[in-house]
Amino acid sequence: MAVKDYIRERFFPHIWCPGCGHGTIMGSMIRAIENLGIEKNNIVVVSGIGCSSRICGYLDFHTLHTIHGRALAFATGVKLSRPELTVIVPMGDGDAFAIGGNHLIHAARRNIDVTAIIMNNNIYGMTGGQYSPSTGYGDFATTAPYGNIDQPFDVVKLALGAGASFVARTTTYHVTSMIKILEKAIAHKGFSVVDILSQCPTYFGRKNKFASPVDMLKYYKSQTTPIGSEAKEKNPDLIERGIFAQEERSEYCVEYDKIIEKASQER
């Protein structure tokens, strides 16, 4: 199948800004699913609210466009009712770990077989460029005209601490590795978190003096490094990318079925 076979062409052209990284993520996600050979009818994509959540309307799968921060709550319900389905949840940084942060940590704690894709552009893009939980210290936003004073969440550390059994990070510059990481995340039987650094030239880029989306991609190239590289030892400020955790652990729906079986035997 071609990429266009996975999209709803009637909703194109899309509304993402020129240079936005979210289209790259969507393309990589489609290619990962194609490589895995999963039937379209066996996939459910759940999104919340935000620039990232528009992906739900563009993909020709079963889709749920839900409310802000609650995508993982809806996804949990879908997975528990139809555990045989592949459930993928693309979210923005605000959707995932601001209003939706509680759902993220508890989905990780439960290890439910859902793939959370964090389309992380360090800003609230859809609502006007406010700073988000992943906006860096000193970075600028419409609500931080003199620089952000909050420390950002490290999504990888947050997911690991909450108990996610698959945790990875990549960027929209590293497309080939992104596809491979998404393949592994989707195929993993447990809760998967993939943090994808995605450029927002319209708000984050303009406020933080990036001249173009290309400059933002060059930043991802120069300021990230593979896990455990010598470059990280020399420059601790570099952001590590790769797979941080990939563990086989009992999955939530399997444990739930065991409870149902026990309850049935006691009747």
Find the CATH number of the domain harbouring 159.
3.40.50.970
**Structural domain of residue 127, as residue ranges?**
18-265
State the burial class of residue 136 (Cβ atoms within 10 Å of its Cβ: 0-12, 13-18, 19+). middle
Structure tokens at 219: 């930043």
Angle CA 107–32–201, to nearest 5: 80
Instruction: Supply the DSSP string of 55-100, one letter for each residue.
Output: HHHHB-SEEEE--TT-HHHHHHHHHHH-TTSEEEEEEEHHHHHTTT
- Backbone angles phi and psi of 87, in degrees to 5: -110, 125
> In this predicted model, what pLDDT tens digit does every residue of 8-54 receive, in sequence order?
988 888 999 999 999 999 999 999 999 999 999 999 999 999 999 99
Q: Decide: 170 and 243 in contact? Cβ < 8 Å.
A: no
Domain count, the chain: 1
Amino acid 127: pLDDT: 87
Whether 4 is covered by a domain: the verdict is: no
Q: How far apart are CA 69 and CA 83, in angstroms?
A: 22
- Backbone angles phi and psi of 195, in degrees to 5: -90, 115
Amino acid type, 127: T
Exposure on the CB side of residue 76, measured as CA atoms within 13 A: 18
Whether 121 is covered by a domain: the verdict is: yes
What proportion of the chain, given as a percentage, has pLDDT over 70? 99
- Tokens 């601790």 belong to 236
Instruction: Say what the pTM is.
Output: 0.95
Low-confidence stretches of the chain (pLDDT < 70) are 1, 267
Whether 1 is covered by a domain: the verdict is: no
Whether 7 is covered by a domain: the verdict is: no
Whether 12 is covered by a domain: the verdict is: no
3-state secondary structure (DSSP) of residue 156: helix
- Backbone angles phi and psi of 224, in degrees to 5: -125, 160
